[in-house]
């Protein structure tokens, strides 16, 4: 799928944002390796800390539907020029592959394509857990 189209789907998902506290809307659209697109949006909480970002919402929805192999995720936000996933979302995406491409920007403007590995260098993944010294 064309990554501008994926970003356009993330922009659409942004319309469903539940962000009464920050007023900052984010949408995400994740593309599975077999071509399925699943969207997510940010869902805020009065406790603030319980807020779920759009990217994690999309991943949780996708995994819940049986998708675990992803090619790319597009992120759309209210920020001028778009914005990158937060640190927690980078870690959450790394769980499913450092090679996943993260698409940011605007569908009709400049877009950036970076892998999760590029956005999360020196990452900690499940592989590290396998390397621990036996106690």
Q: Does 45 bind ligand THU (CB under 6 A)?
A: no
Stretch that binds ligand THU, among 3-11, 47-55, 65-73, 91-99 (CB under 6 A): 47-55
Q: Does 102 bind ligand THU (CB under 6 A)?
A: no
- In the bound state with ligand THU, the residue whose beta carbon lies nearer, of 13 and 130, is 13
Stretch that binds ligand THU, among 50-58, 60-68, 91-99, 105-113 (CB under 6 A): 50-58
Catalytic: which of 11, 12, 44, 55? 55
Q: Is 80 a catalytic residue?
A: no
Q: Does 93 bind ligand THU (CB under 6 A)?
A: no
Please name which of 29, 28, 27, 8 lies closest in space to residue 17, comparing C-alpha atoms.
27
Stretch that binds ligand THU, among 48-56, 58-66, 96-104, 122-130 (CB under 6 A): 48-56
Q: Does 105 bind ligand THU (CB under 6 A)?
A: no
Which tokens hold the place of 117? 């590995």
Q: Render the chain in DSSP notation, one character per residue.
A: --HHHHHHHHHHHHTT-B-TTT---EEEEEEETTS-EEEEE-B--TTSTT-B-HHHHHHHHHHHTT---EEEEEEEESSTT--PPPHHHHHHHHTT-TT-EEEEE-TTS-EEEEEHHHHS-S---HHHHHTSPP-
- Residues in touch with ligand THU (CB under 6 A): 19, 22, 24, 26, 42, 44, 51, 53-55, 85-86, 89
């Amino acid at each position: 799928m064309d990554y501008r189209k994926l970003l356009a789907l993330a922009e659409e998902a942004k319309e469903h944002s539940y962000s009464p506290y920050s007023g900052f809307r984010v949408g995400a659209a994740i593309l599975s390796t077999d071509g399925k697109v699943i969207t997510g949006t940010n869902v805020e909480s009065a406790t603030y800390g319980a807020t779920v970002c759009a990217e994690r919402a999309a991943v949780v929805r996708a995994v819940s539907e049986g998708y675990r192999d992803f090619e790319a995720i597009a992120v759309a936000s209210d920020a001028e020029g778009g914005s990158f996933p937060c640190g927690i979302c980078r870690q959450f995406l790394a769980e499913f592959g450092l090679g996943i491409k993260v698409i940011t920007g605007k569908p009709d403007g400049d877009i950036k394509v970076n892998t999760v590995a590029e956005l999360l260098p020196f990452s900690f993944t499940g592989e590290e857990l396998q390397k621990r010294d036996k106690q």
